[in-house]
Structure 1
Amino acid sequence: MVHNGDLVIGICVGLALGILIAVLAFFSLRWYKKHAYLQRSANERSVPTHPLRINGFGTSTEFSAPFSNAVAVKGSEYPQKSSQVSWWSHHSKDRFASASGLPRYAYKDIQKATQNFTTILGQGSFGPVYKATMPTGGVAAVKVLASNSNQGEREFQTEVRIALTTFIKSEVLFFLTKSNPRVSLLGRLHHRNLVNLIGYCVDKGQHMLIYEFMSNGSLANLLYSEGQVLGWEERLQISLDISHGIEYLHEGAVPPVIHRDLKSANILLDHSMKAKVADFGLSKEEVFDGRNSGLKGTYGYMDPAYMSSNKLTMKSDIYSFGIIIFELITAIHPQQNLMEYVNLAGMSHDGVDEILDKQLVGACNIEEVRELAKIGQKCLHKLPRKRPSIGEVMQAILKIKQRRLAKEDTMSFAAGEYSRMMSRIEVQQIELSKLAGINGE
């Protein structure tokens, strides 16, 4: 007969063995995963790099992984000799590249580059934006998170998540997931018509985002400041540039991204007047999770359908773009009753002629203005489903541009033919004069 004491001892020994086996299995699994991770890392360092993203109109195809100390942005628009992402010397011990290739900078380096944060470019809900000049000669814009900005903290996280050029697997991911557990996967966007993130700083309690510098400022400043005159051809090209940027967000990014705060103040222009979409602090990936995130945007640009339903879609960005189109046509700010003027102009075929920016009167092709206004009207349709997609908008603007170029080519050809014809007539007249002189002798 088995004694109770022996039974208890047997059970205890069995439990102990079971626990021991479980612990050994656990640590063996951890060791295996760590070994596999190290092996993958070694393999990544030894194999050639491969493009991570090739989709989307105008997308850079030169993002690669893994990365060295260089910044991930290496598209054709950023030649090495004048690259804005050269930044501080590669020998700086305080600067290091994250696993993504996006550099992280020390606070003291940015403090020096901004001359102790003295050259301010602007101010937003995120915080102040400073101009930074590096020893290499490159220039950048540094957005500093205001210490008392709760909204700015969220926008900082969103901008990093939306704007980073690749998946982050190291310090930035740790920082974001620590402060916001919901952030587990970071986006990656790069396009010639988006203002690109080229670095960041999380140091000494400061959070900063470092962007390429846009020397001509915002579209809003160009339209509404005295002394600045944007010609019609420039405005048409700006509208096309903006559509390219939005087209990438809506149709090129995976998953699609809704900007959520499109406005003329968030359209920046570089030294060559190329327009780029900026400020992704309120952006949202198009993932419908059913949660109510509250209205976000800027009064005058917000889609009325979004305001009434709190349902955000890509057609909300289309509405905002329609507003920007009419800003380009009229130079009337949305908060100065722009929509009232637009609605009145929509009552007749040539109604837009009455609200055309005075600086454009007599200095533009009025038919092109009317065509662009028609596109803007479609973007502002009350029913979101009746609004065109950004691809359709882009193609419509492109057609206006192509007709303009074709007309210029035709006129140039006609002018050339006229010039050649006049030259021939002059030659013939000279020959006739010579013949007349000979006959007179």
Structure 2
Amino acid sequence: MLLRSSLKNQGQTYQTCVFCTDSDRQFYKLWREGTHLIVLVKRYSCRKYGAVGYFHDLHHEPAELLNSRCFHCLSFKRDRRMAHKGDLVVIGISVGLALGILIASLIFFGIWWYKKRSNLQQCSNESTLPTVPIRMNGLGTSNDFSASLASSVTIRGSEHSQKSSPVSSWWNHHSKDQFASASGILRYSYKDIQKATQKFTTVLGQGSFGPVYKAVMPTGEVLAVKVLASNSKQGGKEFQTEISLLGRLHHRNLVNLLGYCVDKGSHMLIYQFMSNGSLANHLYNDEERFLSWEERLQIALDISHGIEYLHEGAVPPVIHRDLKSANILLDQSMRAKVADFGLSNEEVFDEHTSGLKGTYGYIDPVYVSTNKFTTKSDIYSFGVVIFELITAIHPHQNLMEYVNLAGMSPDGVDEILDKKLVGECNIEEVRDLAAIAHKCLQKFQRKRPSIGEVSQAILKIKQRLLDREMSREFSRVLSRIEDQQVELSRMASRKDGD
């Protein structure tokens, strides 16, 4: 063989390890095992690993031997190849992870934007809800209608009793005169309310028309019971007719009337229970949680939609007559609902009033001089509520004087902004909302905007707030993507260095 002939001279023949430096040497010796097997023992002197041995069969071609590498260099090269493959796997996983995070972020951003847009669209469309025709007591009602309504609710009441579930059997047994009216309003007995309120000991607060109690029904349902003043001028039949008609008013921003009680000389209204209490409590009670600017703006929008439904969605329009922060209730999601609407024949008993309907600090001056309520009277009261949201100053604490003084100052509403909101809100949005409130408080009613115009103006502010939040969220997503790219670059650099 050619290789064998090249090794016929005894001694050491040196050959360079092609992976190591040229100065590294290898030498080999020849052994003969028997008469047939020839084995070459190659010994490398590798600078990297020192003297090591490697066996090679002489039957291989010489070219393979000439391109030989020492054993450790071969192992090192194999490790390098494996490490390179590992680097590719790590980079692939990192890139895939980055793409996954990017896609997830874009999906999250899309869902967030869709929900915000849907919420805004829903707020915008609330004013277009179907009109519910109603007739208040004394406005188009008659004794014949009242009699037919009473007959109708009695018949429906018997049907309701027959279809009642076992859970409410105790309730029906102790409430023989409970029935559903034509509008779905239930009538409860005095005994039932007394038991549900633990003998009227579960006081929630004192409203304009009387105390409010928390009632836990046998079915577990929690309700709010408003007991009207005992000197009400309405009779039982008139009261039933009016609340039955009011029960047909349903809107997401109104506190729904669910039932009533006319028994033992008492007039009671049963409403859905609002777990977060009134807006006034959150503004003036330090123990309640702080209302953010975003929440306050949403509350203003909710109130405007509730009043818009009363003014423009009911036929004839319903005037609230006592709109104030204490009559704005908040549900578990901190969404606002207007309460105490439509009690047109009840007088408000307040230490600051003298035969006037309404609450001191919220009453339209035009109503005081003319003794005539209009929808623009509610607009005035709403302007006061808006300034309460901005300043957290109660009308009884000279709110309007502060507002008038701020109007003469170069800094304007900035000077009377709620201290808790300083640095936590967009001051331009605050000024825009204050401008809406100023229009609502115009001296002449004809200069005051309609509730529909107020809703649209607040909605525009809400739109800008949503756009700002969207831009901020998009910037956060881009920042996260850039951070991931930087981290991937660092990982790749470390791998290349190794």
TM-score, length of structure 1 as denominator length: 0.69
4+ residue stretches of structure 1 with deviation over 4 A? Answer: 54-61, 65-72, 86-93, 154-163
Identity over aligned pairs, percent:
67
* Matches for 1:35-434 after TM superposition, within 5 Å: 57=128, 89=171, 94=176, 95-147=178-230, 149=231, 152-154=232-234, 164=244, 167=245, 188-228=248-288, 229-280=290-341, 282-283=343-344, 295-348=356-409, 350-434=411-495
CA distance, structure 1, for counterparts of residue 235 and residue 382 of structure 2 = 21
Q: CA contact under 8 A between 1:158 and 1:283: conserved in structure 2? A: no
CA distance, structure 2, for counterparts of residue 304 and residue 142 of structure 1 = 32
- Residue 99 of structure 1 and its aligned partner are, at CA, apart by 3.9
- Residue 163 of structure 1 and its aligned partner are, at CA, apart by 5.0
Q: CA contact under 8 A between 2:236 and 2:262: conserved in structure 1? A: no
Q: CA contact under 8 A between 2:321 and 2:377: conserved in structure 1? A: yes
Q: CA contact under 8 A between 2:175 and 2:188: conserved in structure 1? A: no
* Distance change (3 Å), C-alpha of 1:413 and 1:56: closer
- Residue 157 of structure 1 and its aligned partner are, at CA, apart by 8.6
* Distance change (3 Å), C-alpha of 1:71 and 1:143: farther
Q: CA contact under 8 A between 2:184 and 2:247: conserved in structure 1? A: no
Give CA-to-partner distance per residue, 1:52-110, whole Å, 9 cap, x none: xx99545699x9x99966999xxxxxxxxxxxxx9975666522223443111122111
Q: CA contact under 8 A between 1:261 and 1:282: conserved in structure 2? A: no
CA distance, structure 2, for counterparts of residue 155 and residue 224 of structure 1 = 37
Give CA-to-partner distance per residue, 1:167-190, whole Å, 9 cap, x none: 5xxxxxxxxxxxxxxxxxx77311
Give CA-to-partner distance per residue, 1:200-238, whole Å, 9 cap, x none: 111233221111111222111221112222221111111
Q: CA contact under 8 A between 1:103 and 1:200: conserved in structure 2? A: yes
- Residue 271 of structure 1 and its aligned partner are, at CA, apart by 1.9
SS in 2 for 1:261: coil
Q: CA contact under 8 A between 2:282 and 2:291: conserved in structure 1? A: yes
- Residue 322 of structure 1 and its aligned partner are, at CA, apart by 0.3
What amino acid does structure 2 have at the position aligned with 1:341?
Y
Q: CA contact under 8 A between 1:250 and 1:257: conserved in structure 2? A: yes
SS in 1 for 2:387: helix
SS in 2 for 1:109: helix
* Distance change (3 Å), C-alpha of 1:265 and 1:159: farther
SS in 1 for 2:315: coil
Larger Rg: 2
* Distance change (3 Å), C-alpha of 1:191 and 1:140: same
CA distance, structure 2, for counterparts of residue 190 and residue 127 of structure 1 = 23
Structure 2: runs of 5+ lacking an equivalent: 1-124, 135-151, 161-167, 346-354
Question: Which stretch of the first structure deviates more once superposed, 315-324 or 403-412?
Answer: 403-412
Structure 1: runs of 5+ lacking an equivalent: 1-53, 73-85, 168-185, 285-293
Number of aligned positions between the proteins: 337
Q: CA contact under 8 A between 1:145 and 1:206: conserved in structure 2? A: yes
What amino acid does structure 1 have at the position aligned with 2:214?
K
CA distance, structure 2, for counterparts of residue 71 and residue 354 of structure 1 = 61
CA distance, structure 2, for counterparts of residue 189 and residue 198 of structure 1 = 11
* Distance change (3 Å), C-alpha of 1:156 and 1:396: farther
TM-score, length of structure 2 as denominator length: 0.61
What amino acid does structure 2 have at the position aligned with 1:218?
S
CA distance, structure 1, for counterparts of residue 430 and residue 236 of structure 2 = 38
Q: CA contact under 8 A between 1:193 and 1:276: conserved in structure 2? A: yes
Q: CA contact under 8 A between 1:69 and 1:101: conserved in structure 2? A: no
CA distance, structure 2, for counterparts of residue 200 and residue 114 of structure 1 = 14
